[in-house]
Amino acid sequence: MTINTLLWVGLGGALGAMARFSLATAIFKWIGKAYPYGTLSVNLIGSFAIGMAYIWLVENELGGDASRHFIMIGFLGAFTTFSTFSLESLTLLQQGRMTAFLTYIALSLIGCMLATALGMILTKQLV
Other residues' Cβ atoms within 10 Å of the Cβ of residue 99:
8
CA angle centred on 103, ends 78 and 28, rounded to 5°: 50
Query: Residue 12 annotated as binding?
Result: no
Cα 99 from chain centroid (whole Å): 23
The CA–CA distances, whole Å, from 33 to 25, 26, 88, 97 equal 10, 11, 11, 14
Residues 39 and 127: their CA atoms lie apart, in Å, by 30
Query: Residue 116 annotated as binding?
Result: no
For residue 72, what is the DSSP state?
Answer: I
Annotated binding site, which residues? 77, 80
Annotated binding site for Na(+), which residues? 77, 80
